[in-house]
């Protein structure tokens, strides 16, 4: 938690010093979906925040776990926070790292890029490569990305009782619009 | 002793100093891959687990079988992407990497693009590797190194300390580390657990340079490293030591593109200096393709399962025999023509017998030195027939007409062996030996065996000898060779008198009577298991073991029966030499492989003693181009591998891993196969048999056999291949499949049909039975009813009442009485008319009813009312069993009181397809008992005639009978 905050604030600091092309998330949403044989769980949050330093190809995204809404019942949301993600101990999930390709955000267009970074969920950090589609228009960037999170990767155990109701692979969908700072 | 009378000083003709890299043998073949005159560049080569060579080109992926390139079927056939890396993992899954960064693998039997969730690189994939945890790695040209692990794809780049993201190739170390060659040194990558470490090795560790171009395993966790400018060096990953071979110092050959470490050598493919071979035995560096000027830009070294070495050139695929053959062009044609015998001595120098003496060639890293040793007694007309070096390193020389000389190899001093008078001016054909025995045989039955002792360390001392002049069954015959084996037996090979063996003091003789087809025996050899082998003039070779002879001739695969000589190589194979090359026979399996002109061997000397074995077990042949050395390579394939490439159904490929069951109309098959053998693919013979169709094996040279129109049944397609006509141990491949009968021939269908038929018959009979029964019942009911009616009508009571009424009528009104009698007779007449009918029209029944009613009304007057409301149409359309309504009315009258106070009203009308007869109930004080059979009878009759039942209602007010309205005549 502390580590994450440090990285995040570090980037923020970096941001304040740099005078290059830096982008900030203005509208970011993240949705996840657990498609299990006996139950489909969906939730989303529009509390996604993030930064992208175009020159250094570095980025960081962060979301508050408690901001996820849309479960099948309030009890489910409560279990999500208290038992599975333990959001009191680990209030946020984040992904920060560096883009693999060279990308020129000064030119309008659509690009497919891959980001290599650390995905931190439930206090467990996993290095991941995540593919995204980036659209640059009039100096603004919008990112669209979907990827899979394996619960086992982040130490989120599925109790046998809910085995058929919770998928071990969660599909995550991210949409974010960024503007130049 | 006058031995040393003639000691001749040796004359050194000339020490021919060669260039720093001795010229070597190529014997190469080149193949191009092209379509429509467009040649495609081959970027990478790979050998799969079956030994098949894959070529990744600018036009997609191909397989190569030694003759032709075949495109590997891609799921989308239009895709012709440039392939830059190929790999097969330990689950036999094929991986392909492209210049575009895309990946492909076989999914559901089809090669197709494969996009992991994380995406694929945007730069070329250069190499694949599978580590000790079975993870698949791939290196890229600009993004670093990727690897799959636990369902995810990861990347090693500068973030982990990778010194350069342009990675040329990968290698796996014994402890699981992955070595990566880059322009910034060797990167040692480790992903133990989830911790990724990269360690860089460069000049500070001893590497000659940063620019690493190639890494090839050399065994024992050591690796050959190729560099851009500084040549090659050996890196030991355990000790982290780097050693540079002497021949690689001051590297003058330019950029190293690829390396291949084989059993005996390091092969180096360079950009500008063609192909180099660094010998593992003597450290010498030779340049292959010295004469071919266009063999540059060589890369992608690969060794096939037969030991041949392959590489790519600028636009071609090149094959060489690898370590198997090398050429030492030591002499010119003039010298060659004088050579009848050669020898390889204890120091691996090569001696040849020439006019007037011997030439000794010393081949070394730097130069080849040539020394001539003159034997004065020998003119150009006296042939030297054999050379042998004994245990004291003295060289024995057998001649035609001058007996035997023995020479000190170091000084060149020699003497003629005069202590044996038999040898004076004798003509010897060969000289061999074993241990401290030297044997010689020749013309006029001369055979001598020398026993050496310590005193024979120098040539000065006399040799102890025994002459075998009169060997029984040999006499004056030529003795081609005298051979002592490891068991101490002495073998005498004669020219027409078979073989004589001296064993424990006894002579044993073998000739045609023992099974020898040819009694001209030339030379002997002994294999690793103690079997004795020899070659004959016309009948091929024989092995002798446990008292039995076994022949190998054309049928067993010997290519040429004019055999020069027979030798045993270092791996225990029997080498049969002919004028075009050698047959290599494995004595255990009987498999024979061939090396000859097709592999670049020139014409071979046909003198019996012109081949030699050196101390390493290599075979030396004297050829017109120089000395050719054959080096046996362990663990190589000795026969073609039979592979069914594809099975086609109506020329569409079938997935041979899965489906083996076909429908009756899927019966046109084609089998495509290869006997994979890269050394001489044109020599492969095939035999096939479709079990279930063919009764025996069929020979063919085709590689594609069609079978149109197969009948339903179980089949197994067998195919096997061989380099000759001997298929005894041939590699066989099979494909089993079933063509099902059409469903109408299947057992279950036939059984079902029979059962159905039986069932149908059964039902039909039952139905008929039911009908018959029904008819019978109807008949019965009819009879019953008629009987009832008759009974009722003949009921005395009815008659009595009728007559009573009649009497009243006669008394009251005679005219009405006549009417009454007429109606009565009419009534009875109707009964007679209708009694045989099953049903009558409603109209007719109503008429009858009216008649009856008239009769009754005469009795009861207005106290009896009958109300009929039925339309005319219905009277014609509806049918009733005769006298039904009459009986109902009669019942009504019978069971109810009819008086002025209790008027009986009977209604007859149609309601909902029913004929309704209803009367009000006037209970009688005394019930006249009816049997009830009349109504029951009506009900029974209607049951037969209609599905609808007759309904009887009695609600204490009304008695109602509902009869189904029968529309058709039954």
Answer whether residue B1 shows pLDDT above 60: no
What letter would DSSP give residue B402?
S
d(CA B130, nearest CA chain A) in Å:
20
Residue B794: count other Cβ atoms within 10 Å of its Cβ: 9
Rounded CA-CA distance A146/A159 in Å is 26
Q: What is the pairing mode between strands B904-911 and B864-869?
A: parallel
Express as a percent the part of chain B with pLDDT over 90.
Answer: 62
Answer whether residue B20 shows pLDDT above 80: no
| pLDDT confidence of residue B664 | 85
| pLDDT confidence of residue B817 | 81
Question: Residue B475 in contact with residue B456, Cβ under 8 Å?
Answer: no
Looking up tokens 């209030």 gives A91
Q: Which chain B residues touch A126 with a CB distance below 8 Å?
A: 152
| pLDDT confidence of residue B699 | 95
d(CA A148, nearest CA chain B) in Å:
8
- How many helices (H) and strands (E) chain A has is answered by 2, 9
* CB of A127 less than 8 A from some CB of B: yes
Question: Residue B395 in contact with residue B343, Cβ under 8 Å?
Answer: yes
Task: Kindly determine whether residue A131 and residue B117, on different chains, have CB atoms separated by under 8 Å.
Answer: yes
| pLDDT confidence of residue B275 | 92
Half-sphere exposure of B784 (CA within 13 A, CB side): 15
0.80 exceeded by pTM: no
Give every CB contact of residue B54 below 8 A, 6+ residues apart in sequence.
Answer: B45, B46, B47, B48, B61, B62, B63, B64, B72, B86
Element (H, E) at B796: helix B796-812
Question: Residue B339 in contact with residue B605, Cβ under 8 Å?
Answer: yes
Give every CB contact of residue B445 below 8 A, 6+ residues apart in sequence.
Answer: B469, B470, B471, B474, B475, B476, B477, B478, B479
B146-152 LR contacts (CB < 8 Å, sep 24+): B146/B121, B147/B191, B148/B116, B149/B191, B150/A153, B151/A150, B152/A126, B152/A128, B152/A129, B152/A153, B152/B118
| pLDDT confidence of residue A20 | 65
Structure-block tokens of residue B705: 């056999």
Structure-block tokens of residue B940: 């029974």
Answer whether residue B290 shows pLDDT above 70: no
Q: What is the pairing mode between strands B60-64 and B69-71?
A: antiparallel
Which has more confidence, B825 or B98? B98
Mutation site, A103, A116, A118, interface B, largest B CB count within 10 A: A116
Answer whether residue B487 shows pLDDT above 70: yes
| pLDDT confidence of residue A14 | 58
Task: Kindly determine whether residue A98 and residue B143, on different chains, have CB atoms separated by under 8 Å.
Answer: no
Task: Kindly determine whether residue B119 and residue A114, on different chains, have CB atoms separated by under 8 Å.
Answer: yes
Closest CA to B371 of B389, B356, B351: B351
Chain A neighbours among B 468-487 (CB < 8 Å)?
Answer: none
Rounded CA-CA distance B39/B59 in Å is 9
| pLDDT confidence of residue B374 | 92
Looking up tokens 């099979």 gives B734
Task: Kindly determine whether residue B155 and residue A116, on different chains, have CB atoms separated by under 8 Å.
Answer: yes
| pLDDT confidence of residue B477 | 80
| pLDDT confidence of residue A65 | 94
Section B232-237 average pLDDT: 96
pLDDT digits (tens, 9 = 90+) for B832-850: 787 778 788 899 999 988 8
Answer whether residue B10 shows pLDDT above 60: no
Q: What is the pairing mode between strands B152-156 and B145-149?
A: antiparallel
| pLDDT confidence of residue B804 | 78
Half-sphere exposure of B89 (CA within 13 A, CB side): 19
| pLDDT confidence of residue A7 | 67
Mean pLDDT for all residues in chain B: 88
Residue B824: count other Cβ atoms within 10 Å of its Cβ: 20
Q: What is the pairing mode between strands B428-434 and B145-149?
A: unpaired
| pLDDT confidence of residue B807 | 83
Nearest CA in chain A to B156: A116
Closest CA to B314 of B267, B257, B372: B257
CB-nearest partner of B159 from A98, A101, A153 = A98
Task: Kindly determine whether residue B143 and residue A150, on different chains, have CB atoms separated by under 8 Å.
Answer: no
CB-nearest partner of A129 from B150, B151, B154 = B154
Residue B700: count other Cβ atoms within 10 Å of its Cβ: 13
* CB of B337 less than 8 A from some CB of A: no
Q: Which chain A residues touch B151 with a CB distance below 8 Å?
A: 150
Structure-block tokens of residue B39: 């040649």
Chain A neighbours among B 96-135 (CB < 8 Å)?
Answer: 117-119, 121-122
* CA distances (Å), origin B145, targets B123, B168, B823: 11, 10, 122
Q: Which chain B residues touch A148 with a CB distance below 8 Å?
A: 117
Cα B429 → chain centroid = 53
For residue B760, name the pLDDT band (cuts at 50, 70, 90): very high
Section B554-577 average pLDDT: 95
For residue B930, name the pLDDT band (cuts at 50, 70, 90): low
Closest CA to B675 of B54, B27, B51, B31: B51
d(CA B124, nearest CA chain A) in Å:
13
| pLDDT confidence of residue B2 | 41
Answer whether residue B658 shows pLDDT above 80: no
CB-nearest partner of A147 from B117, B143, B159 = B117
| pLDDT confidence of residue B263 | 87
CB-nearest partner of B118 from A126, A131, A153 = A131
| pLDDT confidence of residue B8 | 26
Question: Residue B344 in contact with residue B615, Cβ under 8 Å?
Answer: yes
d(CA A70, nearest CA chain B) in Å:
26
CB-nearest partner of A112 from B119, B153, B157 = B119
Q: Which chain A residues touch B154 with a CB distance below 8 Å?
A: 127, 129
Q: Which chain B residues touch A112 with a CB distance below 8 Å?
A: 119
Q: Which chain A residues touch B152 with a CB distance below 8 Å?
A: 126, 128-129, 153
| Beta partners for residue A56, in sequence order | none
Answer whether residue B213 shows pLDDT above 90: yes
Closest CA to B523 of B469, B580, B485: B485
Q: What is the pairing mode between strands B661-662 and B731-739?
A: parallel
* CB of A147 less than 8 A from some CB of B: yes
* CB of A55 less than 8 A from some CB of B: no
Residue B444: count other Cβ atoms within 10 Å of its Cβ: 13
SS3 assignment, position B405: strand
pLDDT digits (tens, 9 = 90+) for A67-104: 999 999 999 999 999 999 999 999 999 999 999 998 88
| pLDDT confidence of residue B21 | 33
Name the percent of chain B in helix, strand, coil, to the closest 5. Answer: 20, 40, 40
| Beta partners for residue B287, in sequence order | B23, B276
For residue B17, name the pLDDT band (cuts at 50, 70, 90): very low
CB-nearest partner of B119 from A126, A127, A131 = A131
Rounded CA-CA distance B530/B528 in Å is 6
* CB of A124 less than 8 A from some CB of B: no
For residue B360, name the pLDDT band (cuts at 50, 70, 90): very high
Section B196-224 average pLDDT: 94
Residue B150: count other Cβ atoms within 10 Å of its Cβ: 12
* CB of A131 less than 8 A from some CB of B: yes
What letter would DSSP give residue A138?
T
| pLDDT confidence of residue A5 | 65
For residue B365, name the pLDDT band (cuts at 50, 70, 90): low
* CB of B197 less than 8 A from some CB of A: no
Task: Kindly determine whether residue B118 and residue A128, on different chains, have CB atoms separated by under 8 Å.
Answer: yes
pLDDT digits (tens, 9 = 90+) for B935-966: 887 888 888 788 888 999 999 899 999 999 88
| pLDDT confidence of residue A141 | 92
Burial of residue B793 (number of CB atoms within 10 Å: 0-12, 13-18, 19+): middle
CB-nearest partner of B154 from A127, A131, A153 = A127
| pLDDT confidence of residue B803 | 81
Express as a percent the part of chain A with pLDDT over 90.
Answer: 75
Of B540-554, B781-795, B813-827, B836-850, the poorest mean pLDDT is in B781-795
d(CA A15, nearest CA chain B) in Å:
21
Answer whether residue B489 shows pLDDT above 50: yes
Element (H, E) at B888: helix B884-895
Question: Residue B169 in contact with residue B128, Cβ under 8 Å?
Answer: no
Q: Which chain B residues touch A124 with a CB distance below 8 Å?
A: none
Nearest CA in chain A to B115: A131
Element (H, E) at B215: strand B212-219
Task: Kindly determine whether residue A100 and residue B151, on different chains, have CB atoms separated by under 8 Å.
Answer: no
pLDDT digits (tens, 9 = 90+) for B522-553: 999 999 999 999 999 999 999 999 889 999 99
* CB of A144 less than 8 A from some CB of B: no
pLDDT digits (tens, 9 = 90+) for B243-258: 999 888 889 999 999 9
* CB of B609 less than 8 A from some CB of A: no
Q: Which chain B residues touch A150 with a CB distance below 8 Å?
A: 151
Answer whether residue A9 shows pLDDT above 80: no
Which of left, alpha, beta for B634 (phi over 0: left; psi -120 to 50: alpha)? beta
Q: What is the pairing mode between strands B437-442 and B447-451?
A: antiparallel
Q: Which chain B residues touch A131 with a CB distance below 8 Å?
A: 117-119
SS3 assignment, position B645: strand
Nearest CA in chain B to A101: B122
| pLDDT confidence of residue A6 | 66
Question: Residue B445 in contact with residue B475, Cβ under 8 Å?
Answer: yes
Rounded CA-CA distance B386/B343 in Å is 9
Rounded CA-CA distance A51/A30 in Å is 15
Q: Which chain B residues touch A130 with a CB distance below 8 Å?
A: 118
Task: Look up the ipTM and state it.
Answer: 0.87
d(CA B165, nearest CA chain A) in Å:
11
Nearest CA in chain A to B151: A150
Three-state secondary structure along B445-481?
HCEEEEECCHHHHCCCCCCEEEECCCCCCCCCCCEEE
| pLDDT confidence of residue A46 | 94
| pLDDT confidence of residue B3 | 35
Question: Residue B247 in contact with residue B285, Cβ under 8 Å?
Answer: yes
What letter would DSSP give residue B681?
G
CB-nearest partner of B152 from A101, A128, A131 = A128
Rounded CA-CA distance A118/B196 in Å is 14
| pLDDT confidence of residue B909 | 92
| pLDDT confidence of residue B634 | 92
Task: Kindly determine whether residue B152 and residue A129, on different chains, have CB atoms separated by under 8 Å.
Answer: yes
Give the count of Cβ contacts less than 8 A between chain A and B. 33
Answer whether residue B304 shows pLDDT above 80: yes
* CB of A101 less than 8 A from some CB of B: yes
């Amino acid at each position: 938690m502390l580590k994450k905050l440090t990285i995040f604030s570090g980037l923020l600091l970096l941001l304040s010093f740099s005078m290059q092309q830096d982008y900030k998330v203005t509208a970011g949403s993240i949705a996840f979906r657990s498609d299990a044989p006996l139950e489909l769980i969906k939730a989303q949050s529009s509390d996604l925040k993030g930064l992208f330093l175009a020159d250094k190809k570095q980025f960081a995204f962060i979301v508050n776990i408690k901001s996820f809404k849309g479960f099948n019942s309030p009890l489910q949301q409560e279990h999500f926070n208290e038992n599975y993600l333990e959001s009191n101990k680990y209030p946020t999930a984040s992904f920060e790292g560096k883009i693999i390709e060279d990308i020129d955000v000064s030119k309008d267009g659509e690009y497919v890029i891959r980001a290599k970074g650390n995905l931190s969920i439930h206090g467990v950090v996993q290095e991941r490569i995540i593919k995204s589609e980036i659209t640059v228009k009039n100096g603004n960037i919008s990112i669209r990305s979907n990827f899979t999170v394996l619960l086992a990767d982040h130490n989120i155990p599925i109790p046998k009782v809910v085995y058929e109701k919770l998928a071990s692979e969660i599909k995550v969908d991210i949409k974010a619009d960024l503007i130049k700072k | 002793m006058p031995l040393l009378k003639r000691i001749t000083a040796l004359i050194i003709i000339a020490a021919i100093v060669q260039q720093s890299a001795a010229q070597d043998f190529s014997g190469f073949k080149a193949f191009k891959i092209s379509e429509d005159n467009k040649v495609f560049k081959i970027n990478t080569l790979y050998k799969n687990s079956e030994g098949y060579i894959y070529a990744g080109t600018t036009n997609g992926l191909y397989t190569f079988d030694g003759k032709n390139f075949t495109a590997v079927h891609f799921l989308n056939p239009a895709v012709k992407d440039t392939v830059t890396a190929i790999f097969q993992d330990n689950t036999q899954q094929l991986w392909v990497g492209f210049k575009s960064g895309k990946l492909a693998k076989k999914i559901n039997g089809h090669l197709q693009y494969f996009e992991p969730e994380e995406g694929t690189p945007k730069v070329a994939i250069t190499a694949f590797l599978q580590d000790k945890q079975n993870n698949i790695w791939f290196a890229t040209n600009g993004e670093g190194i990727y690897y799959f692990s636990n369902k995810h794809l990861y990347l090693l780049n500068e973030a982990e300390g990778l010194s350069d993201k342009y990675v040329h190739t990968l290698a796996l170390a014994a402890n699981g580390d992955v070595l990566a060659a880059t322009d910034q040194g060797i990167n040692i990558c480790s992903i133990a657990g989830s911790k990724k470490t990269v360690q860089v090795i460069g000049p500070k560790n001893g590497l000659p340079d940063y620019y690493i171009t190639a890494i090839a395993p050399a065994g024992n966790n050591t690796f050959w490293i190729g560099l851009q400018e500084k040549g090659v060096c050996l890196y030991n990953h355990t000790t982290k030591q780097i050693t540079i071979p002497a021949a690689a110092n001051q590297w003058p050959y330019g950029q190293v593109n690829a390396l291949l470490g084989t059993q005996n050598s390091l092969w180096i493919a360079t950009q500008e200096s063609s192909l180099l071979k660094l010998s593992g035995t003597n450290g010498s560096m030779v340049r292959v393709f010295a004469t071919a000027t266009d063999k540059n830009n060589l890369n992608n070294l690969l060794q096939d399962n037969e030991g041949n070495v392959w590489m790519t050139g600028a636009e071609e695929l090149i094959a060489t025999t690898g370590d198997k053959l090398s050429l030492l062009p030591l002499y010119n044609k003039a010298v060659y023509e004088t050579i009848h015998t050669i020898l390889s001595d204890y120091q691996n120098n090569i001696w040849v017998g020439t006019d007037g003496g011997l030439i000794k060639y010393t081949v070394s890293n730097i130069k080849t030195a040539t020394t001539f040793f003159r034997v004065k007694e020998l003119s150009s007309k006296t042939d030297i027939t054999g050379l042998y070096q004994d245990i004291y390193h003295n060289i024995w020389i057998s001649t035609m007409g001058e007996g035997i000389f023995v020479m000190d190899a170091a000084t060149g001093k020699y003497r003629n062996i005069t202590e044996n008078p038999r040898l004076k001016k004798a003509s010897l054909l060969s000289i061999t030996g074993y241990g401290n025995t030297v044997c010689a045989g020749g013309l006029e039955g001369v055979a001598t065996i020398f026993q050496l002792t310590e005193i024979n360390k120098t040539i000065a001392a006399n040799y102890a000898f025994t002459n075998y002049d009169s060997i029984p069954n040999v006499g004056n015959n030529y003795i081609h060779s005298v051979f002592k084996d490891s068991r101490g037996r002495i073998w005498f090979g004669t020219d027409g008198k078979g073989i004589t063996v001296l064993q424990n003091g006894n002579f044993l003789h073998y000739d045609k009577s023992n099974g020898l087809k040819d009694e001209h025996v030339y030379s002997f050899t002994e294999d690793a298991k103690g079997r004795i082998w020899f070659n004959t003039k016309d009948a091929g070779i024989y092995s002798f073991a446990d008292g039995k002879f076994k022949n190998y001739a054309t049928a067993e695969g010997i290519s040429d029966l004019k055999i020069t000589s027979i030798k045993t190589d270092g791996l225990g194979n029997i080498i049969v030499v002919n004028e075009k090359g050698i047959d290599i026979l494995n004595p255990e399996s009987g498999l024979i492989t061939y090396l000859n002109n097709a592999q670049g061997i020139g014409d071979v000397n046909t003198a019996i003693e012109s081949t030699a074995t050196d101390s390493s077990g290599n075979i030396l042949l004297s050829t017109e181009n120089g000395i050719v050395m054959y080096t046996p390579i362990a663990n190589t394939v000795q026969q073609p591998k039979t592979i069914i490439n594809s099975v086609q159904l109506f020329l569409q490929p079938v997935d041979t891993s899965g489906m083996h069951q076909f429908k009756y109309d899927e019966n046109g098959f084609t089998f495509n196969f290869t006997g994979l053998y890269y050394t001489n693919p044109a020599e492969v013979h095939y035999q096939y048999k479709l079990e279930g169709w063919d009764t025996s094996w069929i020979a063919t040279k085709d590689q594609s056999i069609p079978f149109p129109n197969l009948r339903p049944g179980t089949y197994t397609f067998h195919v096997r291949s061989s380099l000759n006509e001997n298929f005894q141990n041939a590699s066989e491949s099979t494909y089993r499949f079933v063509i099902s009968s059409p469903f109408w021939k299947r057992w279950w269908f036939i059984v079902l049909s029979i059962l159905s038929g039986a069932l149908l018959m059964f039902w039909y009979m039952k139905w008929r039975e039911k009908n018959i029964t029904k008819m019978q019942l109807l008949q019965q009911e009819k009879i019953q009813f008629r009987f009832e009616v008759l009974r009722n009508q003949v009921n005395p009571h009815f008659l009595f009442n009728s007559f009573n009424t009649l009497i009243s009528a006669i008394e009251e009104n005679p005219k009405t009485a006549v009417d009454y009698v007429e109606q009565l007779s009419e009534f009875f007449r109707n009964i007679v008319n209708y009694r045989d009918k099953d049903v009558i029209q409603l109209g007719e029944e109503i008429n009858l009813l009216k008649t009856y009613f008239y009769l009754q009304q005469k009795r009861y007057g207005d106290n009896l009312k009958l109300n009929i409301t039925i339309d005319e149409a219905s009277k014609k359309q509806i049918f009733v069993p005769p006298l039904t309504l009459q009986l109902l009315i009669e019942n009504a009258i019978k069971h109810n009181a009819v008086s002025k106070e209790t008027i009986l009203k009977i209604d007859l009308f149609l309601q909902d397809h029913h004929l309704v007869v209803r009367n009000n109930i006037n209970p009688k004080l005394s019930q006249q008992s009816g049997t009830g059979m009349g109504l029951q009878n009506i009900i029974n009759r209607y049951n037969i005639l209609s599905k609808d039942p007759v309904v009887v209602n009695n609600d204490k007010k009304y008695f109602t009978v509902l009869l189904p309205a029968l529309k058709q005549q039954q």
